[in-house]
Every structure is written in C-alpha cells, then in structure tokens.
Amino acid sequence: MVRRKSKTTGTRIGLCGQAPSDFPEFAQFLVKEGIDSISFSPDALLKGIENINQAELKLVVQAKTGSGSNIPLGVGGS
C-alpha cells in the first residue's frame, strides 16, 4: 500500500534489514513491488544480492513468457 502510493508521488522507498538475504521470497516481493533501494549488513550483502538478482531474473522470465509462477527462485543461481 505504501509503495503504491509512493509511486504516485514520486517518493523513493528503501529498506534497511537482513530479511531479503535470509528469505528469498521476501526479496521477490520487494522486487515485484518495485523497491528503490535495500541496504544490507556486510555479512548479508552477497546473499542479498544473489536473492535480488534471482528475483529480477524471475520477473524478466515471467514478462517474456507471460507466466513463470512455477519458476523456483533458485533458477539461474546456486
């Protein structure tokens, strides 16, 4: 709800926390919602980047195929 409203006002939304590195499904949600920035602690950075990259890849595949709901988040990653 907040993210949708921020798009109409041009307000940028960011998140500070480790959840996107610990929970790939949360990273997927943030990417799908169009989060502007995410900050990570140093120990979570690499896994967070991996999860964000996988989430973005999944959205690209969905856009190109018109589906993708069954594509696992681990596609293309380790």
Which pLDDT score is estimated for 31?
Answer: 92
Candidates 72, 48, 45; CA nearest to 58 is: 72
- Residues sharing a CB contact under 8 Å with residue 22, sequence separation 6 or more, in sequence order: 44, 47
Which pLDDT score is estimated for 56?
Answer: 94
Both tokens of residue 24?
């790939």
Which pLDDT score is estimated for 5?
Answer: 82
Both tokens of residue 23?
């929970």
Which pLDDT score is estimated for 68?
Answer: 57
pTM: 0.73
Residues of the chain with pLDDT under 70: 1, 68-78
